[in-house]
Structure 1
Amino acid sequence: MIRRRSLLAALGAAATVVALTACSGGSTGGASTTTSAPAAASGAALTTVTAGKLTVATGQPAYSPWVEDDRPESGKGFESAVTYAVAKQLGYAASDVVWVRSSFDSAITPGAKPWDLNIQQFSITADRKKAVDFSSPYYTTTQAVVTSKGSKADGVTTIAGLKGLKIGVATGTTSYTVVNAEVGQPAVYTSVDDAVQALKTKQVDAVVTDLPGAFYIAGAQLDDGVVTAQFASTAGGDQFAFVLPKGSANTAPVSAAVDAITKSGELKEITDKWLSSEVDVPVLQ
């Protein structure tokens, strides 16, 4: 499911918004581009908006599990942790990472940007590539099970356990393909919203959708929603990546840094922590 701007609006109504804290240094002012030269892991200096600093934008507010307590500078939350790991690969100390805020839509429009990188669950698409650059992907969405507390699906963390339940999915989606292959024929609905309505009226025991969508459903569409488990496979999932200005000289070194933490296993450790353990969404066995 490609992330939409409406997701932020809905989550804003469902989540408890923490008062925005001051970002760690810097601002979104239109600083002229200068060259910084930390000892980057790739051996290449970056061209950044502020010399010696890596300016990273995220949403306002930013939500768990991507950023905890709307404080990206804390390093807590999946995308915050990924950013600091990439920055380290590029040769930047944590104190040299400057956080600013931007809207989702403005980040993916053409033109100069007052930041070096932007991270807020941007799916890589052909249309967006016409306006901005993307790094190598740091996450591919999995399919997840969302239900209501106390339902038959609540607490089920095995494929075998799901086989005795009625599961709703949207037609023509990766969710349908995964459930049909691993669990059995699901109940098929025209849209995810229709599947959620079927869950609310107890026509199904659970809904399967991509993990970001599952967090949205649990937090914004259900009064007592819970994401209980996720499938191991990422086949067909959307890929999330850093956004950079179109034609940025930094795209290659940032991609190399993402590739490095992927190869080393550090990215998997971050993913397991923030998108499994911390949010209690185990992988289905």
Structure 2
Amino acid sequence: MRRSMIATVVTAGLVLAACGGDDDDPVADPVDEGSSPADCAAGQTVDDGVLTIATGEPAFPPYVLDDDPASGQGFEAAVGMAVARELGFEGDSVTWVRTAFDAAIAPGPKDFDFNLQQYTITDERKEVVDFSEGYYSASQAIFGLADSPAATATTLEDLKGLKIGVAAGTTSVTYVEETIAPDQEPLIFNDNAGAKQALESNQIDAIVSDLPTALFITAVEIEGTTVYGQIEGSGTDEFGLLLAKDSPLTGCVNLALAALRDSGELDDITQEWMADFTEAPVISL
């Protein structure tokens, strides 16, 4: 039965960390398709016998409820736990750690086995980290005050006069600059919390983020706001689990995701946690 996320998270009072972008398929080392995910992962984790999963600090609904990923409540918390079970890890053999968004996608060794923070798979990022196959596809969306003339926008041309804010490090920045191409340079904030404050104080007219983030913020966070629309043609953004470059677990994680797809569990998780965050008008190119 689908949870009503608006009712569940209304007390959280948190702003989502968004990540959008565009790309095709992730690169992953092939593994023996006859092996199970658990056999594949044996002896391959950062800490022997323990699977270390990373997320943001803090982590926000609908991806993680109550900033408690170990509960398995929230979309990415549930996906992370389901992948862990497929890899043969449950209970005390799973530990969660926190990372800054930009730090996790920087080159270098990682203190986690995989990371879920709505990371969009891009060619540029794949030069320094590994990604799993995609586990969720999200479109870009724009939102702002409900009484703004832009609330009735139907094309990108209607958005060009807006002062737009966006979170640093996200592929939404590139989308705003190259696709919307507003008349004014977008204002880039450290995170969505900063962008939200700027919107509330009328420093900006609108924010661009992934659609689930936009729908959550307008429904729960900022009274008097609305999603102007999701951007036509931007629904190919794939979120992937992020791993260290050339991680021995990349292929194992893909086996786990394939098993979750085949069993229908990934679809069930998506329906349970994300079904309330997919509907919005379409703004045409």
TM-score by length of 1: 0.61
Match of 2:132 among 127, 132, 135: 135
SS in 1 for 2:83: helix
* Letter matched to residue 44 of structure 1: C
* Letter matched to residue 59 of structure 1: G
* Letter matched to residue 65 of structure 1: P
Quick check: 2:14–2:221 contact (8 Å CA) kept in 1? no
Change in CA separation of 1:111 and 1:219 when aligned onto 2, cut-off 3 Å: farther
SS in 2 for 1:218: helix
Mapping 1:178-197, distance limit 5 Å = 190=183
Counterpart position of 2:41? 45
SS in 1 for 2:41: coil
Q: Give the % identical residues.
A: 39
Match of 1:114 among 111, 114, 123: 111
Alignment RMSD (CA, Å): 4.3
1:214 and 2:207 correspond: no
Mapping 1:18-37, distance limit 5 Å = none
Shift of 1:274: 1.1
Match of 1:126 among 123, 127, 136: 123
Counterpart position of 2:61? 64
Counterpart position of 1:252? 251
Q: Which protein, 1 or 2, shows the higher relative CO under an 8 Å CA cutoff with sep ≥ 6? A: 2
Counterpart position of 2:167? none
SS in 2 for 1:137: strand
Quick check: 1:63–1:70 contact (8 Å CA) kept in 2? yes
How many residues of Structure 1 are paired with residues of Structure 2 in the alignment?
A: 223
Change in CA separation of 1:226 and 1:89 when aligned onto 2, cut-off 3 Å: farther
Larger Rg computed on CA atoms: 1
Distance in 2 (alpha carbons) for counterparts of 1:192 and 1:143: 18
Distance in 2 (alpha carbons) for counterparts of 1:271 and 1:95: 25
* Letter matched to residue 265 of structure 1: G
- What stretches of structure 2 of length at least 5 have no aligned partner? 1-11, 16-34, 161-173, 188-195
Change in CA separation of 1:269 and 1:235 when aligned onto 2, cut-off 3 Å: farther
Shift of 1:225: 2.6
Shift of 1:96: 2.0
TM-score by length of 2: 0.61
Quick check: 1:144–1:210 contact (8 Å CA) kept in 2? yes
Distance in 2 (alpha carbons) for counterparts of 1:209 and 1:106: 20
Counterpart position of 2:6? none
Shift of 1:113: 1.2
- What stretches of structure 1 of length at least 5 have no aligned partner? 1-13, 18-38, 155-164, 178-186
